[in-house]
Chain A
């Protein structure tokens, strides 16, 4: 069995724990300090009840609720809390997966009383941090994650053989992980409305995630499999035309992607760059190279070459994304002395950033992104 812990409105709940005056009020946490020029990165349940959700422009959120409380995100405290919860869960001495900043997965194996364990974890989190979590338990990570979403906030849900069909019948397809985007929309357009419809039409999808659960149990989290691509993107506070600033963002995103590649000992042969803006529209292009890399500078250089494909000179840019695909295990051995020196430099930078936090030492150009 897999136990999935999903924190409830994580950032907003922490802000409400810090300031009890905000409890029960509609509150958004914005990714930047300018409250009318940012996006919602977390909304309290009172705000969600009004239709405000993550990813929504803050201006739109304020038009729905002018009295909305606003807090600028302070990631330090969210990261610290997340790490503390991870440490708390490590105490159970079960295989543990750090799925995201507010999601954790425990592989219970044949743990005798999973519901009691779920209850205990929820109580411990609340006692330590004064915030609630929803817990889902099922045979696979996919169903456990679904279970955690069914009774939010402060939920505890078990999906087993006795309620599998009943729950899938009453759960709309878009609630299933991976079905929120185009894939889910295509399925829904094809007449598949509920998770049960998907199960009836594509049993292999669920046979991987349910019937063949022993296979999945070897990998408690989807993330233990090799990813198909790694990407980072950023929406700028306002449209930018300064090419130096745009290059700085591409460099930063390239470094972020490269860091994650190196953390997973992967190299990438394909770089995809996308840009959006009033003149350029949705520009996206990619190129595959013979030599795979996980060097941020190299990814940056490849991204610039892709950007040069755009016929427009100095277009205004609003959002930028860098994706690395065609991933393989990093077994590259540099031969040229220049490459050996470069690899030594990257290792030294990684050691510094691992010790003091990523971005502690960074390419000078990325200062323009601050």
Chain B
């Protein structure tokens, strides 16, 4: 195996939208989530945001990112025709809504 040529960890020049100034799309609000933890994977089923419950119909994509010691699991989900990005921080156990997609 040869990994000399490319390092996927090279993140010096990564774009960090939230750190470049005011981002009107960023929500970062805490939400309550009902989720299934199965086979070392997380499947959010519904979430409550601003006292309203949203049933998750589809998880279209999920990915992970390390932020310091924490690992954050991101999910793009569809609920009632609207796409949302939500995330779970496995260090703080906080679920939050990141943005409307």
Q: Which residues of A contact B (CB under 8 A)?
A: 14, 17-21, 31-33, 72-77, 79-83, 86, 90, 95-101, 129-130, 220-224, 232, 234, 252, 255-256, 259-260, 263-264, 353-354, 356-360, 362, 370
Asked if B74 is at the interface (CB within 8 A of a chain A CB), the reply is: yes
Q: Are B76 and A18 in contact (CB under 8 A)?
A: yes
Q: Are B66 and A357 in contact (CB under 8 A)?
A: yes
17 of the cross-chain contacts (CB-CB < 8 Å) are A14-B61, A19-B101, A77-B74, A80-B65, A97-B1, A98-B2, A98-B6, A99-B6, A224-B5, A234-B13, A252-B12, A259-B12, A356-B68, A357-B66, A358-B12, A359-B11, A370-B19
Q: Are B1 and A96 in contact (CB under 8 A)?
A: yes
Q: How far, in Å, is A331 (CB) from chain B's closest CB?
A: 17
- How many angstroms from the CA of A228 to the CA of B47 in the assembled complex? 53
Chain B residues whose CB sits within 8 angstroms of the CB of A83 once the complex forms? 8
Known: A74-B15, A357-B66. A223 touches B60 (CB 8 A): no
Asked if B36 is at the interface (CB within 8 A of a chain A CB), the reply is: no
Most buried by B among A73, A101, A223, A357: A357
Chain A residues whose CB sits within 8 angstroms of the CB of B51 once the complex forms? none
Q: How far, in Å, is B86 (CB) from chain A's closest CB?
A: 12
- How many angstroms from the CA of A98 to the CA of B6 in the assembled complex? 6
Q: Are B64 and A80 in contact (CB under 8 A)?
A: yes
Most buried by A among B1, B16, B64, B68: B1
Asked if B3 is at the interface (CB within 8 A of a chain A CB), the reply is: yes
- Scan residues 29-69 of chain B and give those whose CB is less than 8 A from a CB of chain A: 60-61, 63-66, 68-69
- How many angstroms from the CA of A90 to the CA of B3 in the assembled complex? 12
The 3 closest A-B pairs by CB, nearest first: A223-B5, A76-B65, A80-B63
Q: Are B63 and A76 in contact (CB under 8 A)?
A: yes
Q: How far, in Å, is A226 (CB) from chain B's closest CB?
A: 9
Chain A residues whose CB sits within 8 angstroms of the CB of B11 once the complex forms? 75, 79, 357-359
Q: Are A19 and B83 in contact (CB under 8 A)?
A: yes
Known: A18-B101, A77-B74. A223 touches B2 (CB 8 A): yes
Chain B residues whose CB sits within 8 angstroms of the CB of A234 once the complex forms? 13
Asked if B20 is at the interface (CB within 8 A of a chain A CB), the reply is: yes
Most buried by A among B11, B16, B78: B11
- Can you name 4 extra interface pairs (CB under 8 A) apart from A33-B20, A260-B7? A72-B17, A74-B15, A77-B65, A99-B6
- In the complex formed, the residue of B with least CB distance to A227 is B5
- In the complex formed, the residue of A with least CB distance to B69 is A356
Known: A72-B15, A357-B9, A359-B11. A224 touches B61 (CB 8 A): no
Q: Are B61 and A17 in contact (CB under 8 A)?
A: yes
